[in-house]
Structure 1
């Protein structure tokens, strides 16, 4: 039980936020209306993505310091799961945009820079598959990963704030914390951050164990 409590916590939080996010009351805001409930699903995907990419950075640095194969494997598997969450964030954002901005993809600066940031990590995975020699692949991938992370942060969190944008919290638009993100929503949103991050970490540990077993059989 002491080894699984965090898994139970993560699953419980995700189930709670899914049910509460659909059933509890939300503020009545112009244009957003009921679509504001997507905040409970869209934003936590990005939070989980950042958690997983941070884990990958940690193990990339560890690999460069100690050269352990397991650290390289942990780095790539956390990126693999992080990319999935980034795509979920992009899809949930596009669906939300359809109902609030009128189209799935309006080439808003936030959407464009986010897509570029995700492509950075697709390039990381492509780079790994293009190098056959294991140690060389691991070292180059670790260096690339360390530079990709701050670039991703700049693309997603910094540059959109410097340009006009429809996205809340960017381009002069107030973020949800500035208006009508009430205690009802915080009681769902904050647990969603934790729950989805735990689920992402759980998936990453499963993938790591599977890859480790596969490598031992080679």
Structure 2
């Protein structure tokens, strides 16, 4: 029970944020209206993705320094899970954009960068599957992963700020926290971010354990 406290916390926070996000009160804002509720789902997906990719990079570095196969397995499972959350971020963003901007893909720099980032990590998975020798595959994919993470950060958080963007917090647009993320929304938004990040880590650890069992059976 003591070891699983964070899993219980993750479940409680996600259930609370989903329930409150659907039924709780939100500010009455022009254009956004009820779609502002998507903030509780869209943004946590991206935060979870970034955290999982960060964990993956850490374990890729550990693998290169130690040669421990488990570090490589954990790195790839974090990427696998991160890609899923990345797709969820894209889908929720497209739904939101369709209601607020009139198009699911209005050629926004941030959305284009997010798509490129997702393709970049899909390429990482393709690279791993294209190499048969285990140690070579682990080393090359670890190096790729280490370089991919800072590129992803630039694409998602730096380039959109240097050009015009519809996204809040980019291209001169104020972020939600600076003008309409009131105390009611913060009480749901922050728990949602923490809860989904923990859920993402939980899923990655389950995938990691399954991958270890599969490798034992093959050996």
Residue 13 in 1 paired to residue 13 in 2? yes
Q: Counterpart of 1:74?
A: 74
CA positional deviation for 1:45? 0.2
Q: Counterpart of 1:122?
A: 122
Residue 102 in 1 paired to residue 108 in 2? no
Q: Counterpart of 1:140?
A: 140
CA distance in 1 between counterparts of 2:164 and 2:48 reads 26
CA positional deviation for 1:70? 0.5
TM, length-normalised to structure 2: 0.99
Matches within 5 A, 1:162-173: 162-173=162-173
Q: Counterpart of 1:197?
A: 197
| Structure 2 residues without counterparts, runs of 5 or longer | none
CA positional deviation for 1:31? 0.3
Secondary structure of the 1:63 match is helix
Q: How many residue pairs are counted as aligned between the two chains? A: 218
CA distance in 2 between counterparts of 1:131 and 1:197 reads 31
The C-alpha deviation readout for 1:61-111, integer Å capped at 9, x for no partner, is 000000011000000000000000000000000000000000111111111
Q: Counterpart of 1:36?
A: 36
Secondary structure of the 2:169 match is coil
Secondary structure of the 1:31 match is coil
CA positional deviation for 1:191? 0.4
CA positional deviation for 1:162? 0.4
Root mean square deviation of aligned Cα:
0.6
Q: Counterpart of 2:151?
A: 151
Matches within 5 A, 1:170-185: 170-185=170-185
TM, length-normalised to structure 1: 0.99
CA distance in 1 between counterparts of 2:177 and 2:203 reads 30
CA positional deviation for 1:180? 1.4
Q: Counterpart of 1:58?
A: 58
| Structure 1 residues without counterparts, runs of 5 or longer | none
